[in-house]
Chain A
Amino acid sequence: MVEDIRSILKEHGKLSVDIAGLSDDADLYQAGLTSHASVNVMLALEGKFDIEFPDRMLKRNVFESVSAIRAAIEELTGGA
């Protein structure tokens, strides 16, 4: 799952650094993720994992790192 998340961030996150150089806990916003780009990341994640992020999850800290995104997806897919 982490690899899928990383590849979506690489494609849609418009990060100012290479995602490969960031740890799972690195702050994506400090790496240049803008709120606009984060919307595209959300959309790609919803498509890839066949999920819908409920509005309560649409906030900054849910998408702040690879680990945080993984935790959110696991919550929605029942830990699969």
Chain B
Amino acid sequence: MSKANESPHVATAMRIAREVAGPQAASVDRDARFPREALDALKEARLLSAFVPKAMGGLGLGMIELSQMCEALAQHCASTGMVFAMHQIQVACLVRHANGVGFFERYLKELAAKQYLIASVTSEVGIGGEMRTSICAVEKSGDRFKLDKDASTISYGEHADDLLVTARAAPDATPNDQALVLVSKPDYSLERTGAWDTLGMRGTCSPPFKMRSTGSAERILPAPFADIASQTMVPFSHILWASCWLGISTAAVSKARAFVRNQARSKPGQTPPSAMRLAEVATQLQMMRANVHDVASECEYLMNHPESSIDVLSSVAFAVKMNNLKVSTSEAAFQIAHRCLGICGIMGYKNDSKFSIGIHMRDSMSAALMVSNDRILSTNAAMLLVLKDD
């Protein structure tokens, strides 16, 4: 959080994280409930339109500040950070690929004014986690469409105002010829078909749903989803998720530091053995932070120079780099939490101690699974067969 104090908006997110998200975190985790208080505070501070351009009533922030906000929120409540991150990813897809299109321009202004929360509906029963494939299709008739989807998970689906849904562009389109569709209340219904009782990230409330929707055809984004995915959805997802995991790791290491300090105070003059382990985990945290900041800065630069960067954003080299960020930070997050457990010992193992590491371990375990690392590594393995990197 070294540069956070430069941005008043990041400072606001840090305050909400400390004063609202932190105090609710235990009950959100215990009851697997939506972090309503924190989301209300974020709406109040108008941070749900952080990425909407100023001219449209938003804050006009970029990737670096979004990343810092996600990190700050996740440090105090990982579910809050992840809900905020997932919402910003949806907003970014609309801002970067539908701005200037009549309907979406009006929608983004309304989102800024009313602080709508958007959930993502990319998962689908039967596609095996491959986001770039859909089974369901948009069925257009006249100026209306109909779209039903059997989603294997919709994070905060029951708490969102609007949904951004992937589907085949038409009933006769191939599985990877996809479109992105914005559906709004009351044009959709969700029928919950399962529960969300998980190890961690319990407050994201992400059970499976059958979604049914209709709407006016202008709600289908004009850009092909392939471009939206490679140029915006994937980079925003991997950077903002990684920022959340960085927040989780920071929280775990803070507890480990406090624990080692306590030990040191009890025997002044003697460096406790756990201090060595703390020194070790601090190097891994620094590497993770450098990784996130480096890729976030590069992305912000590219997105500020659209005329020269579209080629870069859709290149194999960039895709490999994004995937590397996802795989390495998701693995680091769990390793760091696990190491902190080793440092705090039984005090970290206990759920009711102030050095409890359990929640950080459970939350960080989701990182390698949300878009499975195995799938990402196999994609990279294929791409590295043609990438020369020279």
CB 8 Å contact bits of A35-53 with B (1 = contact, 0 = none): 1100110110010000011
Is B41 in the interface zone, CB < 8 Å from A?
no
Residues of B within 8 A of A31 (CB): 174
CB 8 Å contact bits of B374-390 with A (1 = contact, 0 = none): 00000100110111111
Q: Are B315 and A59 in contact, with the CB atoms below 8 A?
A: yes
Interface residues of A in 27-73 (CB under 8 A from B): 29-36, 39-40, 42-43, 46, 52-56, 58-61
Please tell me which one of the listed residues B230, B379, B386 contacts residue A53 in the complex, with CB atoms under 8 A apart: B386
Residues of A within 8 A of B379 (CB): 35-36
Is B45 in the interface zone, CB < 8 Å from A?
no
Residues of B within 8 A of A42 (CB): 386
Q: Whole-angstrom distance between the alpha carbons of A52 and B387 in the complex?
A: 10
Interface residues of B in 173-208 (CB under 8 A from A): 173-177
CB 8 Å contact bits of B162-174 with A (1 = contact, 0 = none): 0000000000011
Is A77 in the interface zone, CB < 8 Å from B?
no
Q: Are B314 and A60 in contact, with the CB atoms below 8 A?
A: yes
Is A16 in the interface zone, CB < 8 Å from B?
yes
Q: Are B316 and A32 in contact, with the CB atoms below 8 A?
A: no
Closest chain B residue, CB of each to CB of A27: B177
Q: Whole-angstrom distance between the alpha carbons of A32 and B390 in the complex?
A: 30
Residues of A within 8 A of B386 (CB): 39, 42-43, 46, 53, 58
Q: Are A55 and B390 in contact, with the CB atoms below 8 A?
A: yes
Q: Are B226 and A52 in contact, with the CB atoms below 8 A?
A: no
Residues of B within 8 A of A54 (CB): 388, 390
Closest chain B residue, CB of each to CB of A41: B386
Q: Are B174 and A58 in contact, with the CB atoms below 8 A?
A: no
Q: Whole-angstrom distance between the alpha carbons of A52 and B379 in the complex?
A: 20
Is B40 in the interface zone, CB < 8 Å from A?
no
Residues of A within 8 A of B226 (CB): 29, 60
Q: Whole-angstrom distance between the alpha carbons of A13 and B176 in the complex?
A: 13
Residues of B within 8 A of A56 (CB): 311, 315
CB 8 Å contact bits of B219-240 with A (1 = contact, 0 = none): 0000000110010000000000
Residues of A within 8 A of B4 (CB): none
A50 shortest CB reach to chain B, Å = 15
Is B160 in the interface zone, CB < 8 Å from A?
no
Q: Whole-angstrom distance between the alpha carbons of A20 and B176 in the complex?
A: 20
Q: Are A58 and B385 in contact, with the CB atoms below 8 A?
A: no
Please tell me which one of the listed residues B132, B314, B382, B385 contacts residue A59 in the complex, with CB atoms under 8 A apart: B314
Q: Are A39 and B311 in contact, with the CB atoms below 8 A?
A: no
Q: Whole-angstrom distance between the alpha carbons of A35 and B227 in the complex?
A: 12
Is B295 in the interface zone, CB < 8 Å from A?
no
Q: Are B315 and A32 in contact, with the CB atoms below 8 A?
A: no
Q: Are B132 and A35 in contact, with the CB atoms below 8 A?
A: yes
Is B317 in the interface zone, CB < 8 Å from A?
yes
Known contacts A55-B389, A58-B316; is-contact A39 B174 (Cβ 8 Å) = no
Residues of A within 8 A of B387 (CB): 55, 58
A/B interface sample: 20 pairs, CB < 8 A: A16-B174, A29-B226, A30-B174, A30-B177, A32-B177, A33-B176, A34-B176, A35-B383, A36-B379, A36-B382, A39-B385, A39-B386, A52-B388, A53-B386, A56-B315, A58-B316, A58-B317, A58-B386, A59-B315, A60-B314
Given contacts A16-B174, A52-B388, A58-B386, 10 further A-B contacts (CB under 8 A): A31-B174, A32-B176, A32-B177, A34-B132, A35-B132, A35-B383, A55-B315, A55-B390, A58-B317, A58-B383
Task: Give the interface of B toward A (CB within 8 A).
Answer: 132, 173-177, 226-227, 230, 311, 314-317, 379, 382-383, 385-390
Task: Give the interface of A toward B (CB within 8 A).
Answer: 16, 29-36, 39-40, 42-43, 46, 52-56, 58-61
Q: Which 4 A-B pairs have the closest CB atoms?
A: A58-B316, A32-B174, A39-B382, A59-B315
